[in-house]
Chains A and B, each alone.
Chain A
């Protein structure tokens, strides 16, 4: 099994005024809630934390893309990945990823990821998320009913740009390019491993992963118990379409906090965990339900994304740390407690890539590094040998 260290890079300085006055953490949050000095300091601390994770033995480090938000302050994951490609040597650089429907032309993404693959000497994993409604439809103005068609077209263009031996013309609905001939090509041949992150049970997301033999990465904020139905749905879909059940086809994101004892974990992590669930997910329903963002098929499936779940929770009573841990949204406690709960999750949900979210909300730099170190030393070694009979075919060769 592989463990990856995932950073959302949230803005850590939201105060009580945010609770009273802000409608949303995303899209139209007033800039007066941001302090530039905090942003500067956070960026450097966050990169330090990712480098610390790589040095601590995590197999990969992950960055992702969000716009106009205090939930995640990383509009360009490629910039962060470029810095990490130079400051780390062995860990996979997992860009999770670029919302490819947003870029015109999407060959820009093909070019930047190819550059990253060279900068990292072949350690890149390329993630292609559709993106949240907030990022894509509200911040970048994409018509919700076009989003998936644009995504599919961008995916075709990027993968062809990486693999076609000669220049070609691309005549799409949204992208018309007479000459496609990106340079450089990725270092990995034929391309970096592709992972498809998703925040819910989108039939189209599963299908994209299954049809192209990509990794499906479920970015869950709601832990094992709510992840079960989604991951079961993915495995049913994959096996019914003739794929094997290699657990490395799947990745699962889990919030994790480790301390010497369960009681100590509660004392240390209560504030940052509540910060995340109470402030960083403050998203009004209007921003998560753009008509057309979900396809008809997914709408019919009656399975809604976790962001919609989060959106529905706005106005409800804010969950406390104890609620959050009891529900399994965060696995928290001593190394033994965390290992036991994670092992249940890994087995039942059947995934080979564990995406560990270990900086949460406004967690301090010192506490984040302690959390990371304890996990790497006390938990991870005992889980390494899970899935010994399976080969991870979705991992950069340079990191094997």
Chain B
């Protein structure tokens, strides 16, 4: 069995401990880096949401992993939901961790209104994991440029607010779905989860921020594993 994992606003530093539980259980995790987040020189953000979807779907198709269960977190959750809406045959089950793409008009933090050095801690309920610290530590000029381009990719997906009108189409999601949300999410506060309730009942993860699979890996990994196993029965 295999699943696709689509990463968060903060990039793709490698599998979280939550996803490593899947690997330990014999599930292959295909985790492509979203366009732009790989920091390749010359990349420019797609000019609109449809162009973004096209680039992402091209990348997913190139993995050869579809159809399969798709797990998406943050901006990755948005793309996973869009895939389930527009290409339902490609998604056999859908797990979403605090997906973006629908905005609740409540007091949410703007990760781009603070210095870059303060941006990463905003995504977690507690300490920034070492994997992220290492990713965001400058590695010479090329490393700096790659990091800058990755941040540009992230910003272009949520600017000026992380809403891409998914509320008008999530009723088309028919796959079995899991929805997890960090209680202390500052980017997409918990209240936002109610707007996804027609996809699945939100499960609140205590002690977790926007990147809940890093803040509470055991709880998130266990919930995900159970969800995937249920689908296999």
Report which A residues bind B (CB closer than 8 A).
Answer: 27, 137-138, 141-146, 149, 173-174, 284-287, 289-292, 296, 299-300
Contacts and interface: CB of A to CB of B under 8 A. Distances in A.
Given A173-B47, A285-B115, A286-B115, A292 B155 contact: yes
B148 A291 contact: yes
A141 B47 CA distance: 14
B47 A144 contact: no
B155 A290 contact: yes
Contacts, number: 68
A143 B154 CA distance: 11
Contact of A286 (B113, B151, B153): B113
Contacts of B45: 143, 145-146, 292
Interface of B: 41-42, 44-45, 47, 112-116, 118, 141, 145, 148-149, 151-156, 159-160
A137 B159 contact: yes
A144 B148 CA distance: 12
Contacts of A287: 113
B145 A290 contact: no
A229 B66 CA distance: 53
5 contacts: A138-B160, A143-B45, A284-B114, A286-B114, A290-B112
The 4 closest A-B pairs by CB, nearest first: A292-B152, A141-B160, A291-B151, A145-B45
B218 to A, nearest CB: 33
Contact of A296 (B42, B112, B113): B42
Contact of B115 (A137, A141, A289, A299): A289
Given A145-B153, A145-B156, A173-B47, 16 more contacts: A141-B159, A142-B159, A143-B45, A144-B156, A144-B159, A145-B152, A145-B155, A284-B114, A284-B115, A286-B113, A289-B115, A292-B152, A292-B156, A296-B41, A299-B145, A300-B141
A287 B160 CA distance: 13
Contacts of A289: 115-116
Contacts of B155: 143-145, 290-292
A137 B115 CA distance: 15
B116 A145 contact: no
Contacts of B115: 284-286, 289
Contact of A149 (B47, B113, B148, B153): B47
Contacts of B151: 291-292
A159 B215 CA distance: 53
A299 B116 CA distance: 15
Contact of B148 (A284, A285, A296): A296
Contacts of A173: 47
Given A286-B115, A296-B149, A300-B141, A174 B47 contact: yes
A392 B91 CA distance: 65
A188 B118 CA distance: 50
Contacts of B112: 286, 290-291
Nearest to B110: A286
Nearest to A295: B44
Contacts of A291: 112, 116, 148, 151-152, 154-155
Nearest to B118: A286
A149 B116 CA distance: 24
Nearest to A289: B116
A137 B159 CA distance: 8
A74 B116 CA distance: 30
